A and B are shown apart, each in its own frame.
Chain A
Amino acid sequence: MTETAEAIVVGLGASGGIIAEQLTKAGIRVLALDKGPVHTTEEFTFKQDEVKYYSRGSLVPQLATDPVTWRPDDKSTARLLPWAAGVRGNSEPLHLPPSIGPGGGTLHWGGAAWRHRDADFRMKTLIEERFGPDALDADSTMVDWPIGYDDLEPYYDRVEWELGVSGQAGNVKGAPNPEGNPYESPRERGFPMPPLRTAPADDRFKAACQRLGYRPFQQPAAVASTDYKSLKGCEYCGFCHGFLCHVNAKQSSRITSVEAALQTGNLEIRSNSRAFRLDRDPSGRRITGVSYFDADGNVHQVRSNLVVVACYALENSRLLLASGINANGQVGRNFMTHSFGWCSLVLPEFSNPFMAPLVAASVVDDLNCDGVPDNDEGVLWGSVLTSIPGDLQPIEAAHNLPPGMRRWGQGFKDWFSENYRRLMGIHNQVPSFPSKKYYCDLDPVVKDKFGQPALRITHDWSAHDLAALKYFEKVKRSIAEEMGATQFWSEPTPPAYHLSTHEVGTHRMGENPSDSVVDIYGESHECEGLYVVGGGQFPTLSGYNPTQTLQALAYLSADRILDKV
């Protein structure tokens, strides 16, 4: 007899955790399938282990079990992600899909907790108003969002207060506070926790930025500065981004929403359970359940007329395509990601970069969104610019050395022993624009060990991406000089990777069923009762990190589902 569930949630990450919590609290019995293992808090007591979490990427899906292929254009043959494949291993787990198991991407994340600005929802309109109707490429598929900042404000508020975010508000109901972000769109209230203590070199960054006329403020962080609900105050151990928290200071759905859902008694989690098909009725217009493999590869089928697919922009689109749910051909289109402009500095005094979370840092937001000044490079849209003074262990640091320096021998040993304690980073992230040229589909050849087709990514860095990297590199260099850095260098351009854990857009939301995949609540246009949620819904990527916006969207989806049942 086929098993039946009241609701199925596939993937218990940032979005799936929130929706599972809201549904179970309303009395709905939820079956959650997650392809990763259940991580216990005990497992992370001794997480101060760079080999396990960085070098061996033990939280993230590996290419051997979860193949993903990439090619720069549709004339090329895709191959397993070349920046992560091979005997040397990934070396940088953050250029693979995000961590798996209950908690999902909020297991490994750094906790940058951004609301979008009002402008982010109207990127296309603002770019065309400012630079003319031909400013975007002919291949552009950019659209404005079908919702605006005001629609999401109450849901951003819920993320901050229900899950926990620390920070200093810059604009409460229109009243500016110079300690906070001068550019943030108005919020109904401030943060539930004050900002974190910043990492050692951050003061130097902030002072230099102020001298240059910028208005730096502290990064809002999904890391608790004090005990708050299920979170404990941060201990500043420095093993944060890519690691798990040993005191539960970092907000993760594993300890917030998933834990709350479990406490209702209405959530059953099946870990190591890999959904491979979304089942529909004969008309194809109604969801009827999910088929999955258990850890041993046995096939199971669970029936349900409410299915929430929340396993990241990439796997969401792969699952839709593998299930044949793509009548209008829009699934997998509009792939977007961030190029990271990592820059490194050597400072004249000890920066001790191994302390504090990644987000215990200041931010310059003067050049983000439509605030990017007129420029010769042709940059149409800006980016947040962040100090990275902490959370850097020695193995990772050795992977980011000044170009041209020999990476071995006495000179390398001298340089690294002398300078590891003086390192610091400055970072920005250029949002790629949606284009007909950049998309995901099913790889025609590569399959996983269960015979399921791998996702194939077709993406290259555009002229605009490279122009923006160049523009921001100049800005960062000027800040580094003002800081008195003795050395400054940037990661190679164009970036070798095409995944940043900030992939979005692949199941775009919109009001028109012919040119989008889901509605603003994440419900499939094609298949009733099927919700496909997460960053894949985004019509455009912002210069900010995407997580808090997809968390806000998850609350919106949950409200809608509860209205309808």
Chain B
Amino acid sequence: MPATNEATKVSWLFLTETEAETVDAVSARIFPSGDGKPGARETRVITYIDKTTADEDEALRRCYRDGVEALNALTSEQYGQRFAELPEERQDEVLERIEASTAPESTRTPEGPEDEGLLATFFALVWEHTIQGMFCDPQYGGNHEALGWQLVGFPGAQWGYNAEQMRAGFDSKTIPIKTLEDLRRELKRADD
């Protein structure tokens, strides 16, 4: 099975190649790339999700496993292709239908959380994890090189801010971004 992008050419802690490819494609529709600014792919959201599924409980893993299977079954049936193989516009249509809970009855699980359909829950979960993977501290595997923080102008993990920086209208992009690793290094230097 061919990998569709760079991000899936690594070995995963938990996800299969197909799962990584599919989840990566979904998260890339949440925070798209292609406008010259970092999106889910550049910040390596999929790495964050792989680590998270490896660490978290079985209910979460099952939601990813079953969700990917159901999504690809849906697109295969309707378009003859896996979700990741569809053109972006078509992917958006599929996700819009899922979000509006118009997914076919057959994909619903009767005892799913909050009685949502499996695919609606799956998409909501990928959304949560995409946001987390975009803006987490890079130590979690996402927000690669703090690109997510750069995108929105968040200076990251700071010890504090001074009165000048706290003036209304101050351009926060002039504050050097720090990660938890930077803070650890600073504290270690101070101790030496």
A-B interaction:
yes
A residues engaging B (CB < 8 A)?
45-46, 48-51, 55, 64, 82, 85-89, 91, 197, 199-201, 203-204, 234-238, 246-247, 349-352, 354-356, 393-395, 398-399, 407-410, 412-413, 416-417, 420-421
Per the bound structure, the CA–CA distance linking A55 and B127 in Å amounts to 13
Tell whether, in the assembled complex, residue B30 and residue A236 are in contact, meaning their CB atoms are under 8 Å apart.
Answer: no
Q: Which residues of A contact B151 (CB under 8 A)?
A: 417
Q: Does B13 contact A (CB under 8 A)?
A: no
A492 CB, nearest partner CB in chain B, Å: 15
Could you mark each residue 165-185 of chain B with 1 if its beta carbon is under 8 Å from any beta carbon of chain A, else 0?
111111110000000100110
Per the bound structure, the CA–CA distance linking A91 and B137 in Å amounts to 17
Q: Which residues of A contact B132 (CB under 8 A)?
A: 51, 55, 395
Q: Which residues of A contact B57 (CB under 8 A)?
A: 64
B residues engaging A (CB < 8 A)?
29-32, 35, 37, 39, 57, 59-60, 63, 92, 95, 113-114, 121, 124-125, 127-128, 130-132, 134-137, 140, 148-149, 151-163, 165-172, 180, 183-184, 187
Per the bound structure, the CA–CA distance linking A247 and B183 in Å amounts to 14
Q: Which A-chain residue is minimally distant from B113 (CB atoms)?
A: A86
Tell whether, in the assembled complex, residue B180 and residue A350 are in contact, meaning their CB atoms are under 8 Å apart.
Answer: no
Q: Which residues of B contact A201 (CB under 8 A)?
A: 168
> What are 23 inter-chain pairs, A to B, with CB distance below 8 A?
A46-B157, A48-B156, A55-B136, A85-B114, A86-B121, A87-B121, A91-B128, A197-B163, A200-B167, A200-B170, A204-B168, A236-B160, A236-B161, A237-B160, A349-B169, A350-B171, A395-B135, A409-B92, A413-B35, A416-B152, A420-B152, A420-B154, A421-B172
Tell whether, in the assembled complex, residue B114 and residue A86 are in contact, meaning their CB atoms are under 8 Å apart.
Answer: yes
Per the bound structure, the CA–CA distance linking A49 and B156 in Å amounts to 9
Q: Which residues of A contact B152 (CB under 8 A)?
A: 394, 416-417, 420-421
Q: Which A-chain residue is minimally distant from B60 (CB atoms)?
A: A87
Tell whether, in the assembled complex, residue A351 and residue B168 are in contact, meaning their CB atoms are under 8 Å apart.
Answer: yes
Q: A394-B149, A394-B152, A421-B172 are in contact. Are A87 and B165 (CB under 8 A)?
A: no
Tell whether, in the assembled complex, residue A237 and residue B158 are in contact, meaning their CB atoms are under 8 Å apart.
Answer: yes
Q: Which residues of A contact B166 (CB under 8 A)?
A: 197, 199-200, 236, 352, 355-356
Q: A91-B128, A408-B127 are in contact. Are A48 and B180 (CB under 8 A)?
A: yes
Tell whether, in the assembled complex, residue B95 and residue A408 are in contact, meaning their CB atoms are under 8 Å apart.
Answer: yes
Q: Which B-chain residue is minimally distant from A79 (CB atoms)?
A: B114
Tell whether, in the assembled complex, residue A238 and residue B161 are in contact, meaning their CB atoms are under 8 Å apart.
Answer: yes
A248 CB, nearest partner CB in chain B, Å: 13
Q: Which residues of A contact B159 (CB under 8 A)?
A: 235, 237, 246
Residue of B35, B137, B162, B172 near A350 (CB, 8 A) is: B172
Residue of B114, B155, B180 near A354 (CB, 8 A) is: B155
Q: Which residues of B contact A199 (CB under 8 A)?
A: 166
Per the bound structure, the CA–CA distance linking A197 and B160 in Å amounts to 12
Q: Which residues of A contact B149 (CB under 8 A)?
A: 394
B53 CB, nearest partner CB in chain A, Å: 11
